């Protein structure tokens, strides 16, 4: 059945060349993508930081031994004017 | 060249599809594993701080001003030679009734110490010597400056010095335990000031702004 119209149909050898070319292109494309991925300056695995971090807050309250405050006493002496 | 069969052609096409899909899936898989490695994380935290002890006192009445006046030099006061006044918790008393206030002004009231910390406090007082306050008065009439704790304030729950008047130049205890707060919210203590002014004191302003109240934690 496949040889009923050989002048119109594309030769199978051409098809095979095209198919092989498709395979080669596909392989090269995949290799290129993988190669590019490996050059990304981020480690692909284990790149996450540790999600749990610890910090420290310190406060020292120094209770004063003594506190003081001051007051005022005043008066004005004004003798009787004669 | 002999043509290959359709079966061979189909096999090669299927192989091409498989290789292409496998490559694509592998690439996607590698890319998906990059995850969020480039993203900074934001974390929040909380800190609780508890201040257990805070020692603090303040003077809600920090000035005792007896105003402008002189000693009455007539009648009984003429022989006495001095005037004696006492100011306390919203009180003023011209004890000898020999002080003539020459300018209006409100009568002096005593100091009021408030414990505004959060622990009980023992408070003491220190001030000038009599000679320093009266600027080396050289006359022969009595003069002096003294203090005493108010005997009725609820703010002092310890021993208080309210039995005698004490000179300011002695660092003495006002109250061994002024509460920082209680159910009545009474954490104050009044200090009564007693002054004796001689009649022959030179005219002038007599003032001391260094009446110092010291507080330590009550034991």
* Alpha carbon B137 to chain centroid, angstroms: 36
Query: What are the tens digits of pLDDT across the range B74-106?
Result: 888 888 899 999 998 888 888 888 999 887 556
A23 or B158: which leads in pLDDT? B158
Whether pLDDT at B49 is above 80? no
Confidence of residue B23 (pLDDT cuts 50, 70, 90): confident
Nearest-CB residue to A69 (from B16, B204, B213) = B213
Q: Which of B150, B144, B151, B106 is nearest to B127 (CA)?
A: B144
CA dihedral B186, B188, B189, B190 (to 10 degrees): -110
Strand runs labelled E in chain B:
57-61, 63-71, 82-87, 92-94, 99-101, 111-115, 121-126, 144-149, 166-167, 172-178, 188-198, 204-217
Greater model confidence, B5 or B190: B190
* Cβ contact, residue pair B214, A48, below 8 Å: no
Q: What is the pLDDT of residue B127?
A: 93
pLDDT (average), residues B21-45: 68
pLDDT classification of A19: cutoffs 50, 70, 90: confident
What average pLDDT does the structure give for chain B?
85
Predicted pLDDT at A44: 46
**B39 touching chain A per CB within 8 A:** no
**Tens digit of each residue's pLDDT (9 = 90 or more) over A23-40:** 887 888 778 777 777 766
Provide the shortest C-alpha distance from residue A8 to chain B (in Å): 15
Q: Is the pLDDT of residue A46 over 70?
A: no
Q: Which of B19, B49, B211 has its CB closest to that of A59? A: B49
Q: Does domain B57-217 have CATH number 1.20.1300?
A: no
CA B116 to chain centre: 6
């Amino acid at each position: 059945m496949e040889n009923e119209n050989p002048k119109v149909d594309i030769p199978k050898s051409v098809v095979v060349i095209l198919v092989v070319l498709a395979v080669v292109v596909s392989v090269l494309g995949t290799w290129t993508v993988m190669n590019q991925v490996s050059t990304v300056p981020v480690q692909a695995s284990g790149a996450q930081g540790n999600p749990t971090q610890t910090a420290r807050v310190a406060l020292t309250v120094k209770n004063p031994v003594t506190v003081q405050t001051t007051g005022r006493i005043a008066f004005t002496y004004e003798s009787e004017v004669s | 060249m002999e043509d290959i069969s359709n079966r061979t052609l189909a096999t090669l096409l299927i192989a091409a599809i498989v290789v292409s899909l496998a490559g694509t899936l592998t690439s996607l898989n590698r890319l998906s594993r990059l995850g969020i490695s480039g993203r900074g994380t934001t974390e929040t935290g909380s800190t609780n701080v508890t201040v257990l002890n805070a020692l603090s006192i303040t003077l809600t009445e920090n000035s005792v001003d007896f105003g402008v006046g002189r000693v009455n030099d007539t009648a009984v006061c003429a022989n006495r030679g001095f005037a004696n006044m006492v100011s306390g918790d919203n009180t003023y008393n011209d004890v000898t009734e020999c002080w003539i206030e020459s300018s209006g002004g409100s009568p002096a009231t005593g100091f009021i110490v408030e414990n505004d910390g959060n622990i009980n406090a023992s408070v003491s007082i220190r001030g000038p010597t009599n000679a320093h306050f009266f600027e080396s008065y050289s006359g022969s009439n009595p003069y002096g400056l003294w203090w005493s704790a108010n005997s009725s304030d609820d703010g002092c729950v310890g021993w208080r010095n309210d039995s005698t008047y004490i000179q300011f130049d002695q660092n003495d205890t006002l109250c061994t335990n002024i509460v920082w707060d209680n159910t009545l919210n009474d954490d104050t203590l009044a200090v009564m000031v007693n002054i004796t002014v001689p009649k022959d004191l030179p005219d002038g302003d007599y003032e001391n702004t260094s009446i110092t109240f010291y507080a330590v934690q009550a034991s």
